[in-house]
Structure 1
Amino acid sequence: MRTFGKFTRVHALTAVGALCLALAGCADDSSANSGSTGANEAAKGDTVTIMVGGLDKVVYLPMMLTERLGYFQQEGVSVKLLTEPAGVQAATALVSGDVQGAVGFYDHTLDLQAKGKQVESVVQLGQTPGEVEVVSNKAAGKLTSPKDFKGKKLGVTGLGSSTDFLTKYLAVKHGVNTSEFTPVAVGAGQTFISALQKGSIDGGMTGDPTVGQILAKNAGKVILDMRSPDGSRAALGGLYPSSSLYMNTSWVDGHKETVQKLVNALVKGLKWISQHKAEQIAAKMPPDYAKGGGKELYVQAVANTLPMFTKDGVMPEGGPQTVYEVLKSFNPALKDTKVDLAKTYTTEFVKKAG
Structure 2
Amino acid sequence: MKIRTLLLAASLIFPALGAARAADVEKPDLTIGVGGKPLLYYLPLTLAERLGYFKDEGLNVEINDFGGGAKSLQALIGGSVDAVTGAYEHTIRMQQKRQDIRAVIDLGRYPGIVVAVRKDEADKIKSIADLKGAKIGVTAPGSSTYILMQYLFAKAGLKPDDASFIGVGSGASSVAAMQKGEIDAISHLDPVISKLESLDAIKILVDTRTTEGTETLFGGMNPAAVLYFKESFIKANPKTVQALTNAFYRTLKWLEKATPEQVAATVPEEYWLGDKALYMKAFEASRQAYSTDGNIDEASMKSALNLITATDPEIEASAIDLSKTFDGSFLSKVKTP
State the TM-score, normalizing by the size of structure 2.
Answer: 0.89
Alignment match, 2:296: 315
Match of 2:147 among 147, 155, 165: 165
Contact 1:329 1:335 in 2 (8 A): no
Match of 1:287 among 249, 260, 269: 269
What is the distance in 1 between the residues matched to 2:241 and 2:189? 28
Match of 1:59 among 41, 59, 71: 41
Higher mean displacement: 48-57 or 329-338 = 329-338
1:203 partnered with 2:185 = yes
Deviation at 1:316, TM superposition (A): 4.0
Counterpart amino acid of 1:68? Answer: R
- Indicate the SS of the match to 1:263: helix
Alignment match, 1:343: 324
Once the two structures are superposed, the pairs formed by residues 147-186 of structure 1 within 5 Å of their partners are 147-186=129-168
Contact 2:34 2:84 in 1 (8 A): yes
1:130 partnered with 2:112 = yes
Deviation at 1:314, TM superposition (A): 1.1
Aligned alpha-carbon RMSD (Å): 1.5
Where is the helix percentage greater, Structure 1 or Structure 2?
Answer: 2
Number of residue pairs the alignment of both structures matches: 311
Deviation at 1:79, TM superposition (A): 1.2
Higher mean displacement: 173-182 or 159-168 = 173-182
What is the distance in 1 between the residues matched to 2:181 and 2:71? 26
Residue identity (%) = 34
What is the distance in 2 between the residues matched to 1:54 and 1:157? 8
Alignment match, 1:240: 222
Residue 96 and residue 143 in structure 1: after superposition, are their counterparts in 2 closer, same or farther (change >3 A)?
same
Deviation at 1:278, TM superposition (A): 1.5
Alignment match, 2:51: 69
- Indicate the SS of the match to 1:351: helix
State the TM-score, normalizing by the size of structure 1.
Answer: 0.85
- Indicate the SS of the match to 1:80: strand
1:334 partnered with 2:315 = yes
Contact 2:128 2:152 in 1 (8 A): yes
Counterpart amino acid of 2:262? Answer: Q
Deviation at 1:234, TM superposition (A): 0.7
Greater relative contact order structure (CA < 8 Å, 6+ sep): 2
Deviation at 1:237, TM superposition (A): 2.4
Once the two structures are superposed, the pairs formed by residues 7-156 of structure 1 within 5 Å of their partners are 45-156=27-138
After superposition, the C-alpha distances for 1:80-102 in whole angstroms (9 at most, x for unaligned) are 11211211111011010000001
Counterpart amino acid of 1:228? Answer: T
Counterpart amino acid of 2:63? Answer: L
5+ residue gaps in structure 2? 1-24
What is the distance in 2 between the residues matched to 1:337 and 1:178? 23
What is the distance in 1 between the residues matched to 2:111 and 2:193? 14
What is the distance in 2 between the residues matched to 1:173 and 1:142? 20
Structure 1 segments of 4+ aligned residues over 4 angstroms from their partners: none
Alignment match, 1:219: 201
After superposition, the C-alpha distances for 1:330-350 in whole angstroms (9 at most, x for unaligned) are 202214771111111111111
5+ residue gaps in structure 1? 1-42
What is the distance in 2 between the residues matched to 1:135 and 1:57? 20
Deviation at 1:280, TM superposition (A): 1.3
Deviation at 1:167, TM superposition (A): 0.3
After superposition, the C-alpha distances for 1:257-286 in whole angstroms (9 at most, x for unaligned) are 110000001100000000121111221111
Bigger CA radius of gyration: 2
Counterpart amino acid of 1:347? Answer: G
Counterpart amino acid of 2:52? Answer: G
1:256 partnered with 2:243 = no
After superposition, the C-alpha distances for 1:184-232 in whole angstroms (9 at most, x for unaligned) are 2112222222222222211011011101111112221212110012211
- Indicate the SS of the match to 1:184: strand
